[in-house]
Amino acid sequence: MGRRCGVLGDPIEHSLSPVLHTAGYAALGLDWSYAAHRVASGGLTDFLASLDGEWRGLSLTMPLKLEAVPLVDELTERARLAGAANTIVFDQGRLKGDNTDIPGAIAAIRERTSAPLATAVIIGGGATATSIGLALADLGVRDIEIVVRSPERGAETCETVHGHPGHPDVTVSRLDEVTAFDVDLVASTIPADAQDAHLVRACVAVPTIFEIVYHPWPTPLAASIGDRVLVSGFDLLLHQAAVQFELFTGEVAPLDAMRAAGEQALAASSGS
């Protein structure tokens, strides 16, 4: 039986999720569909109310990851810990909220590097930064610095990440006071146009850069990578989508087919 899935957010036009999931369905011969839907902040309740029994799952981008939490019937432990759900699974009339950014980030990092990670900086303080912080804590990072424009923007992320069962040490710093980072990994969750030369210089000695943005590409941080390790936003998108695919379909995600389709779409969008 054909089922429907989709990705919601605002803006949503740039999303590669339809490409990835559709390629996965084609590879496995599934008669499923997946499309992007623009849903602004405050619109998730009405959108959910409009769906029928054909629907199996939703992927959520900002600003809906936080909005989904009180609207579902059940949260997985990782979604509860993050306080954010980027995935909704429809299961016999019940809505289950999950957070695939956390396992997706872990898989993305470990695909690119097996180096031990003890210290990290996360630039930005939103829901994605929180999920990345929890993923890093799962990987054994015990010293995490949240770098934001204003300290109050990072307070909730700091508290949530410290609440991980490993209880990493988490501090908050101001972005305009950054000099140079001496850590194992820097993860940036801020837009490309917010990455100035000062920030790029501060990251120049960091061996692994996790650039969450995948459009536009390359970002200033990605362009400066040289021979260091780069974990890209596409890596994260692919691996979290693979977890979603398996939650929705019950099938093992055809990662190679999904990756190839995504890379082709990225190359086409950049004109290369």
- Rg, C-alpha atoms of the chain: 18
Please name the helix (run of DSSP H) or strand (run of DSSP E) that holds residue 105, with its range, or none: helix 101-112
Give the residue numbers annotated as catalytic, written as ranges: 65
CATH assignment, 4-99+235-270: 3.40.50.10860
In this predicted structure, what is the pLDDT of residue 62?
85
Name 34's bridge partners. 5
Domain boundaries, the chain: 4-99+235-270, 103-232
In this predicted structure, what is the pLDDT of residue 49?
97
In this predicted structure, what is the pLDDT of residue 55?
97
| Spatial contact of 198 and 175, defined as CB atoms under 8 Å apart | no
In this predicted structure, what is the pLDDT of residue 150?
86
Tell me: pLDDT of 27 over 70. yes
Task: Please report the beta strands in the chain, taking only residues with DSSP state E, as ranges in sequence order.
Answer: 4-9, 33-38, 55-60, 74-75, 87-91, 94-98, 119-123, 143-148, 169-174, 185-188, 208-211, 229-231
pLDDT in tens, 51-93: 999 999 999 998 899 999 999 999 999 999 999 999 999 999 9
The arithmetic mean of pLDDT across residues 129-150, rounded, is 96
Structure pTM? 0.95
Name 25's bridge partners. none
Tell me: pLDDT of 271 over 70. no
pLDDT band at 270 (very low <50, low <70, confident <90, very high): confident
pLDDT in tens, 222-232: 999 999 999 99
Q: What is the mean pLDDT of the chain?
A: 96
Tell me: pLDDT of 215 over 90. no
Q: Which of 240, 237, 246, 235 has its CA nearest to residue 89? A: 246
Is there a common fold for 4-99+235-270 and 103-232?
A: yes
The architecture CATH gives domain 103-232 = 3-Layer(aba) Sandwich (3.40)
Tell me: pLDDT of 122 over 70. yes
- The CA distance from 129 to 212, in Å, is 9
Tell me: pLDDT of 272 over 60. no
